[in-house]
A and B are shown apart, each in its own frame.
Chain A
Amino acid sequence: MLTFTIRRLLLSIPTLLFISMVIFLLLQLAPGDPMAQVPLTVPPEVKQKMREALGLGQPIYVQYYKWLIQFFWVEPQVFLDWATRETFLLGWLPDTNFSTFIDPDTGAVRPVQRTISWQTRSPIMDIVIQRMPQTLWVVGLSYIVGILIAIPIGIYSAYRHYSLFDQAGTFITMVGFSIPPFFTGPLLIVVFSVTLGWLPSIYDTTHVVTDWASFKVQFMQMIMPVMVLALQTTAQISRYMRGAMLDNLNQDYVRTARAKGLKESSVVMVHVLRNSMIPVVTVIALGMPAIFGGAIITENVFKVNGIGQLLLTALFANDLPMVMTLTFIFAIMIVLFNLIADVLYGLLDPRIRYD
């Protein structure tokens, strides 16, 4: 198992490098110019200088190499400095100074060059870390809610196969599967914000929870985006859960368990459920990258300024370093969680041996 994990980890390095190269080359074809918004009175030579200051004058392979260095070497250093300086966990360590260097000409201490956004001219990672909590809260919570609803539905509709509950559950999951979030979102807004006026239609990310009243506001504004996303998760996972339970309920070991006089509850909830969870856990792991990727559409509908919305605005503003970094972070998440799903599958199911 350990060798398998290490082999897969090593194999994911060339995969990620290749993906980053694909994204980078795609972005090279972009027609946009970061100087498009600069006033026309600025002479072309100055514009050229400004372009070079953003690192655009260099050949493609130099640009790619610099991006790689900044992403894999500089950013971890900055993170380490921050961790030893400000966090509780590592703050007791002596402060590190990886992310600064001494200018040979002036002798002054200067920070290293990080990947900067063309929109804001600030380091991309800082913006990403700013946006991450919103996405994690909304999308992550919706994922948990979705799983918590889906698993009981899946279990019960498999246990009462072809019953009314099963038919209704299958129909509802099918509907949840088919209605896109850009329809459920506006629909919920029309019903609950416009007609009934119960819930706010815009998610206010500047809202700070200090007491019970502000917690209630936070709770109210989270209901709709979380439910829209949870509907999708529920639909997907309850189908898997039902399928896995149905596969296991007809197995011989279930008959054995019943024959030796175990209670029905312990047959279903212990023997069958534990075995049925194996494929479901991997499906859950495979869906995790979407949490970090943010739900681009739902964030757009409810005006949550999370990662998905950041990517969308960066795309429209031609902010290529931002798009590159964000897309690559999503790719890392997908590769990582694919690996986790495979490892989990091997750990949970003793019948599967990778070696």
Chain B
Amino acid sequence: MTKQAIPASPIEADIETFGALVDKEPSKPPRSQWVDVWQQFRKHKGAVFGGGFLLFITLAVIFGPFLWDVDPKALDIRNKNWRPIYQLLFDSEAKAGWAHPFGTDQLGRDIMAQMIAGGQVSMAVGWLAMALALLIGTAIGIISGYFKKLDFWLMRFTDLVLSLPILPLTLLAVTLFRQPLNSRFGPEGGMFILIVGIIGLTSWMQTARIVRGDILALKEREFILAARSIGTRSGKIIRRHLLPNVISPIMVSATLGLATAIITESALSFLGVGFPSDFPTWGKLLSDAVSRMQEFPERVLLPGIAISLTVLSVNYLGDGLRDALDPRLRGR
């Protein structure tokens, strides 16, 4: 603006100033919070890999039986103790082949089919127990953060449950309630309900504490005051205003819950108090194979790697989610 023309009238001058203020290019559409979260999440390589692997393993155990339709319980005693296919690389005489890529066990059951079936159980236990723990934890956290009268007692209760020795009590409960539930729902269904229930009932405390802390802080904010002053009922305030705001800590503790649930289920199976013996889960496959691991190390390795990779990917996913959902870290 070296040579500025003198405007003829004041109105024209206004128009010119206004024109200078308008952006030259069209502005970007407003970004939603979840787009921001996704972009931050994408920067965390481990989290993306973790999420991808979790998705892959979940899909693999859901659709695996359709692609690899060998019955995991079918005995084939003539073809027992096959080695996995990669054994042919070191030893061309090994009993291995594409009929059983992961080999067969001492009764001739196909290990690949068992791994898929075991993964279904382990993942189902993990997801359901996590959902149960989240449900209880969120409910207790919200109630105790929102209603002052109940806060003291609910938090004392949470502290009390936190000071229970969890693994011994879990072992105890499994040995105690196995009989009645088995007679009610059958050996597999009863055990499934029992394990999901126990893991869910013993891992909600951290979620409850985190949610309560967040609710206590949110409750004092103006938008809650506004909502209350136009006569919104408590139930609606919780559903419309508080829950969406605590969704991020809940999601982070969901990933942690999934990881612990998978590990606890495998640990119970490993200690021999899990599912019945012919019912494969990853922990069960691992513990059955330990006694013969000198000759067949792959039978320990395969389920062990499956458990470890799943838990690792879930933990990385949680790490990435925590970073992505934290508005202070976002955009850095």
Contact = CB atoms under 8 A, between A and B. Distances in A.
Interface of A: 15, 18-19, 22-23, 26-27, 29-31, 171, 174-175, 177-180, 182-183, 186-187, 189-190, 194, 289, 293, 296-297, 300, 311-312, 315-316, 323, 326-327, 330-331, 334-335, 338
Contacts of B180: 31
Contact of A18 (B160, B172, B287, B301): B160
A26 B222 CA distance: 47
B169 A23 contact: yes
A330 B171 CA distance: 14
Interface residues of B, number: 41
B307 A183 contact: yes
Interface in B162-181: 162-165, 167-169, 171-173, 175-177, 179-180
B327 interface: no
B155 interface: no
A97 B119 CA distance: 60
A335 B165 CA distance: 10
B165 A330 contact: yes
A190 B294 contact: yes
B302 to A, nearest CB: 11
A29 to B, nearest CB: 6
B85 interface: no
A316 B175 contact: yes
Nearest to B45: A167
Contacts of A316: 175
Contact of A22 (B164, B259, B271, B301): B164
B20 to A, nearest CB: 41
Contacts of B294: 190, 194
A300 B168 CA distance: 14
B175 A19 contact: no
B86 to A, nearest CB: 16
- Residue of B173, B180, B259, B263 ringed by the most chain A CB atoms within 10 A: B263
B107 interface: no
Contacts of A18: 160
B286 interface: yes
A260 B108 CA distance: 74
Interface string B256-289: 0001000100110011000000000001001100
Contact of A327 (B165, B287, B316): B165
Contacts of A312: 171, 271
B297 interface: yes
21 contacts: A15-B160, A22-B164, A26-B169, A26-B176, A30-B175, A174-B319, A178-B259, A178-B308, A178-B311, A180-B263, A182-B283, A183-B308, A186-B286, A187-B304, A190-B300, A194-B297, A293-B167, A293-B168, A296-B171, A300-B271, A315-B172
A26 B311 contact: no
Given A26-B173, A183-B308, A190-B293, A178 B160 contact: no
B203 interface: no
Most buried by B among A183, A300, A316: A183
B267 A297 contact: yes
Contacts of A296: 167-168, 171, 271
A334 B312 contact: no
A175 B314 CA distance: 11
A331 B167 CA distance: 12
A180 B267 contact: yes
Contacts of B290: 186
Which 4 A-B pairs give the minimum distances between C-beta atoms?
A183-B304, A330-B165, A178-B312, A178-B311
Contact of B312 (A174, A186, A335): A174
B315 A178 contact: yes
A3 B329 CA distance: 40
A186 B271 contact: no
A334 B165 contact: yes
B38 to A, nearest CB: 22
Contact of B164 (A179, A297, A326, A331): A331
B312 A31 contact: no
B164 A19 contact: yes
Contacts of B297: 190, 194
Contacts of B312: 174-175, 178-179
Contact of B270 (A27, A30, A194, A297): A297
Contacts of B311: 178-180
B103 to A, nearest CB: 16
B179 A183 contact: no
Given A22-B164, A289-B165, 10 more contacts: A27-B176, A178-B311, A180-B308, A186-B293, A187-B300, A194-B294, A293-B168, A296-B167, A297-B267, A311-B168
Nearest to A326: B168
A334 B164 CA distance: 8
B163 A327 contact: no
A187 B270 CA distance: 14
A21 to B, nearest CB: 11
Nearest to B308: A179
A189 to B, nearest CB: 7
A199 to B, nearest CB: 15
B271 A31 contact: no
Nearest to A329: B165
A311 B166 CA distance: 13
Contacts of A177: 315
B43 to A, nearest CB: 12
